Chain A
Amino acid sequence: MADPARVRPEAGRPEPGEGSCSSTSSEPAAKPRSAAAAEEEEEEGSSSLHPSPAKKLKMEHDKKKEKRQKVDEDEIQKMQVLVSSFSEEQLNRYEMYRRSAFPKAAIKRLIQSITGSSVSQNVVIAMSGISKVFTGEIVEEALDVCEKWGDKPPLQPKHMREAVRRLRSREQSPNTKHKHILFH
């Protein structure tokens, strides 16, 4: 998520239009790019029609960075609008969604008990993050199953099991029954 204070205000730049939700750098849209190209080349001061490869790379990178920051800005604004219109129960749920996390100490202990050696902090951070996404996928799938079977929350073990079965058949969840992993 970009820090809005970091973004330089660019007057006269056309709005991208689409509100794409991906914060990883996706394919840049054609329209803002050509406008940016005109600006960038003027700024660089090079009158040549073919800037050197290094300059070209830098320009591309800057364009992509600005586009990404613009998209992030839009996303942040939209999120603010959305969150401001939440009911109290939704606010509660959203707070739980953002704040809940696995305890780093327990994760670290778990990983270290498997490897037998110590692991860096980044590994623990990455693993906790992935685990949270993993539980999110299962819970969402289980809610789909629950709704499809005409039941109501709270979720029951049969929904969870069906959700896991579905995720495994789609290969979104690790399945050790069919893959044999050889390691020393």
Chain B
Amino acid sequence: MAEEEDDPGFDEDLDDGGNGVDSGQGKRKRLFSKELRCMMYGFGDDQNPYTESVDILEDLVIEFITEMTHKAMSIGRQGRVQVEDIVFLIRKDPRKFARVKDLLTMNEELKKTLKAFDEANYGS
């Protein structure tokens, strides 16, 4: 990734695991650069967002996922992440809660439809 504006001091911050906001994640490869750019455009940013902004967002998302995962592991069944735990953690945030419910419902419907389709195809 061509990041001309990064100063070399970033690579020192390998011990900073949790707070990815002020310092970069160091040498970690960028996981979501392309998708994040499309997403930022979709949400209202410019068609070509700044690389630094994309980096900050990626760090934030990874921090968010990490935190959710840790919390989910500590409630319900210990050491495992299950959907019910995620739904429980999200219950206070209306947008995310609604989104998760929609996604899971759609997924169930899809599975049911595909299953019915398969059974119709391959005999009674």
Contacts and interface: CB of A to CB of B under 8 A. Distances in A.
Contacts of B66: 110, 114
Interface string A112-127: 0011010110110111
Given A102-B35, A125-B103, A139-B40, A183 B73 contact: yes
**Is the interface on chain A under 10, 10 to 19, 20 to 34, or 35 or more residues?**
35 or more
A125 B38 contact: no
B-side binding surface: helix, strand, loop or mixed? helix
Interface of A: 1, 22-24, 93-103, 106-107, 110-111, 114-115, 117, 119-120, 122-123, 125-127, 129-140, 142-143, 153-157, 159-161, 164, 172-174, 176-177, 181-184
14 contacts: A100-B35, A107-B65, A111-B65, A111-B81, A114-B66, A123-B81, A126-B86, A130-B86, A131-B64, A135-B57, A143-B43, A155-B40, A157-B56, A181-B71
Contacts, number: 174
Given A93-B44, A130-B100, 4 more contacts: A97-B39, A125-B107, A154-B45, A160-B57
B50 A181 contact: no
Contact of A129 (B49, B62, B93, B99): B99
A22 to B, nearest CB: 7
Nearest to A161: B21
A154 to B, nearest CB: 4
Given A115-B81, A119-B81, A127 B45 contact: no
